[in-house]
Amino acid sequence: MVKRIAVLTSGGDAPGMNAAIRVCIRAGLYYGKEMYVVYDGFKGLVEGDIHQVTKDFTSDIINRGGTIIRTSRLPEFKQPEVLAKAVQQIHDYEIDAVIGIGGDGTYHGLLSLAKAGVNVIGIPGTIDNDVASTDETIGFSTALNTICDCVDKIKDTSSSHQRCSIIEVMGRYCGDLAIFSSIAEAAEMTVTYDHPVSDDLLFRKLRKIKSQKKSHAIVIVSENLLDVNEFAKKIQAETGFETKAEVLGRLQRGGSPSAADRILASRLGSHAIELLNKDVFNRVVGIKDNKIVDFDIEEALAMPRDIHKPLLKLIDMLQ
Ligand code: F6P
């Protein structure tokens, strides 16, 4: 029976991770478990930065951005000797199960632990919304609101100067932040991996918008697709539309989590503890059709991601 549970956050931080840490600790204590936190993700696991916590540790954190137990990226975790050190620490601290909050990279780290005999549970936390086993990840809603807030502000200045703005948003290789923000912000054009747009079409549309004397044009582009600064110069040269590039960057990851993220984190985290309380391991939790669900971690990692075809069609209708 699981007695001691450790919680860590890993990969890019996401608003709502603190809410997830909070619920894991509180729900674990509710079931009489001893609760531990690991600082700095898998790096802290390897180094033994593992500490027992009480309910007080979780006071006043639900509204805080980032992760109070910090995070890291540790590609070396794949190396057998690094993994073996983490497993040794888990045994030394007599930890019965590890909960990892993060994205796909975190799930891969958890899977390596599971294969080494450690009991694990994954909770999806990333602004990218690129985890196939859940409709929504913790942090996506807040990042989307942040993007909308930024685009509203860019529109103000863009309209005053009659400019075109090329805005790069995060998402790694997933277009969800670009797609959802484009709909919410009535963007003139959207470019993502799953919604490519030829230069020719883009230039034609922007020339038309300029000829209609519209006050601005907003083009939202997913990161890792093109160099937006170079692309802005090209658009200006091809269309005559004065064009500025804006890379929103890591500010998309910061800020107080939205109510939706706090609630999602609380629902997912409590389910993670429910599973451990029933001695169910090596699962990842998620939300599907507003129901909290869980899947085998290996199966979850093999699932194809939903590319939101109806939303891509909606974008075409709107633009
Ligand atoms: O996974 C979250 C994310 O913000 C991605 O959108 C982005 O590609 C990446 O992390 C950036 O990571 P870092 O801050 O480590 O450079």
| Per-residue pLDDT at 57 | 98
> Are 94 and 52 contacting, i.e. CB atoms less than 8 angstroms apart?
no
Q: Compute the distance from residue 93 Cα to the ligand 1 centre, in Å.
A: 31
CA of 132 to the centre of ligand 1 (A): 18
Give the pLDDT confidence score for residue 265 in this predicted structure.
99
pLDDT band at 110 (very low <50, low <70, confident <90, very high): very high
- Catalytic position from the list 13, 128, 130, 135: 128
| pLDDT per residue as tens digits for the range 10-51 | 999 999 999 999 999 999 999 999 999 999 999 999 999 999
pLDDT band of 246, cuts 50, 70, 90: very high
What residue owns the CA closest to ligand 1's atom 5?
Answer: 172
Ligand 1 centroid distance, CA of 276 (Å): 30
Which of 10, 172, 181, 247, when mutated, tests ligand 1's pocket best, judged by the most ligand atoms within 8 Å of its CB?
172
Question: Is the CB of residue 304 less than 8 Å from the CB of residue 27?
Answer: no
- pLDDT category at 232 given cuts 50, 70, 90 is very high
Q: What rounded mean pLDDT belongs to the chain? A: 97
Q: What is the DSSP letter of 1?
A: -
- CA–CA dist 150, 64 (Å, integer): 20
pTM of this prediction exceeds 0.95: yes
Residue-level pLDDT at 130: 98
Q: In this predicted model, what pLDDT tens digit does every residue of 170-225 receive, in sequence order?
A: 999 999 999 999 999 999 999 999 999 999 999 999 999 999 989 899 999 999 99
5 forms beta bridges with 35, 97
User: Of all atoms in ligand 1, which is nearest to the CA of residue 177?
Assistant: 6
Residue nearest to atom 10 of ligand 1 (CA): 12
To the query of whether residue 128 is one of the catalytic residues in this protein, the response is: yes
Amino acid at 187: A
SS (H, E, C) 92-140: HCCCCEEEEEECHHHHHHHHHHHHCCCEEEEEEECCCCCCCCCCCCECH
Task: Determine the residue type at 247.
Answer: V
Q: Which atom of ligand 1 is nearest to the CA of 11?
A: 1
152-163 tens-digit pLDDT: 999 999 999 999
d(CA 143, CA 128): 9
pLDDT of residue 273: 98
